[in-house]
Amino acid sequence: MTGGTGVAGGTGIAATGTAFLLAAAPAGRGRAMDATSVLPALAAVPPGVLTGTSTATVVELADPLDPQTVLTRLRAAAASPGPLVLCLAGQLHLDRRQQLPHLALARTTPATLRYTALPWHWLAGELAARAPGTTTVVADFAADAAVWERLATTPDLLHLGPGPTLYGRVTPAPRRGEPMAPDYLRSWAELWRSGARLPHATLHAESAAHAASTAPESFLLAPAPAPAPAAEQDPHPAILAAAMAGRHGEAAAVAAAWESEALRRHGPRSAEAVHWTEVRADLARLAGEPARSCELWLTAAEARLALRQRTDDPDVEGAVDRAHHQWEQIGDRARARALGPLLVSLRQRVPGRQPGALAALTRRMAD
């Protein structure tokens, strides 16, 4: 836990800013993200660059143990009148009793979550009194299964109110193996260190595209984009151009951002959200990821059926046909076996217009 002051040249802004760096994750087997690994990269950025001011104070918390300690330091930082930038890395868990997200700390376990983790609404409460436009939060989180599921149905689960501006990436926590890295937040640090004074929205887009190569499944957090002129509203040509040029991570990140916006505006049970799931499915195909493409087409087909589209609707049949085709391209037999029953279940409801498709699938499953 350290504090410091630095001066960044060239900003010309007289106000003193505050950078609040918090990286935390449970110790032991509960650690799904190596959160503190990003702190050296952030510490290497001149403090004034972090906040966009001529002088700045840095508060750094690495694997704190007690949520009350974090709250005290956060409250002091939030009381400063100048610009405040919070960089957060760690794990989100859902309190099953109150259904509220919490940021895990070093001593957090599933049984002690309510007493050893930082409630997300504490963060929102401390930032609520700050003047609009003075607070930016940049977050890189791994989410447990309950939080990940809630994000699909409640896209504003992590909303901080009208004042703070939130940019971030949330990914599903890995079930086993090595903890994931906070690549999204590390990319922000590297871009800051490069000397480029980019808008936060650009830093978010660049970092999301970079991080998509290591964690393609993610939920992006960002302010709603400003309405664009009619001629600029269609993002599909740019997404396709990026994919055809081999920039698959960039294409996937942009499509995921549009899907997040569709979820925010229209909800998960909407034609708009389903459309962007299908775009991501096709991008996975172009990236040579048939298992991921199959999984997304299955999701899209189920979503269309949930919207009460008929089983012989061309869009429903098309989604199942594409899922079937991508399933046949999967080289990993274990992954194919895992997706096979889902595809069979859909084929039974949506036989499609190719005679014998279900029978062929059943035979292939038996091989």
Helices (H) and strands (E) in the chain, counts: 15, 9
DSSP 202-230: HHHHHHHHHHTTT--S-EEE-PPPPPPPG
- Please name every residue paired with 168 in a beta bridge, in sequence order, or none if there are none: 139, 221
Given a contact cutoff of 8 angstroms between Cβ atoms, the answer to whether 35 and 74 are in contact is: no
| Residue indicated by tokens 């509203």 | 233
For residue 361, the tally of other CB atoms under 10 A from its CB is 19
Give pLDDT, residue 216: 67
Select from 39, 58, 51 the least CA-distant residue to 13: 51
Select from 37, 11, 43 the least CA-distant residue to 23: 37
| CA–CA gap between residue 197 and residue 208 (Å, rounded) | 18
3-state class percentages of the chain: helix first, strand second, coil last, to nearest 5: 50, 15, 35
The residue ranking higher by pLDDT, 363 or 275, is 275
Residue 97 backbone phi and psi in degrees, to 5: -75, -50
- Does residue 253 surpass a pLDDT of 50? yes
Tokens of 316: 């429903």
Give pLDDT, residue 189: 93
Select from 85, 19, 83, 84 the least CA-distant residue to 57: 19
For residue 37, the tally of other CB atoms under 10 A from its CB is 16
Select from 281, 283, 294 the least CA-distant residue to 341: 294
Given a contact cutoff of 8 angstroms between Cβ atoms, the answer to whether 224 and 258 are in contact is: no
Confidence of residue 262 (pLDDT cuts 50, 70, 90): confident
Question: Which 3 state secondary structure label does DSSP give 156?
Answer: coil
| CA–CA gap between residue 366 and residue 363 (Å, rounded) | 5
Give pLDDT, residue 78: 93
Tell me the per-residue pLDDT of 301-329, one tens digit each, with 9 for 90 and over: 998 998 889 988 899 999 999 998 898 88
Select from 317, 291, 293, 295 the least CA-distant residue to 304: 317
- Does residue 99 surpass a pLDDT of 80? yes
Mean local confidence (pLDDT), 150-169: 88
Range in 63-67, 165-169, 223-227, 290-294 with the lowest mean pLDDT = 223-227
| Torsional sign, CA 196, 257, 297, 181 | positive
End-to-end CA, the chain: 58
- Please name every residue paired with 139 in a beta bridge, in sequence order, or none if there are none: 88, 168
Confidence of residue 13 (pLDDT cuts 50, 70, 90): very low
Return the DSSP state at 33. B
- Does residue 45 surpass a pLDDT of 50? yes
Distance of CA 134 to the CA centre of its chain: 23
Confidence of residue 225 (pLDDT cuts 50, 70, 90): low
Q: For the stretch 242-268, what's the b/e string if a residue is b when 16 or more beta carbons lie within 10 angstroms of its beta carbon?
A: bbeeebbbbbbbbbbbbbbbbbeeeeb
Mean local confidence (pLDDT), 215-232: 64
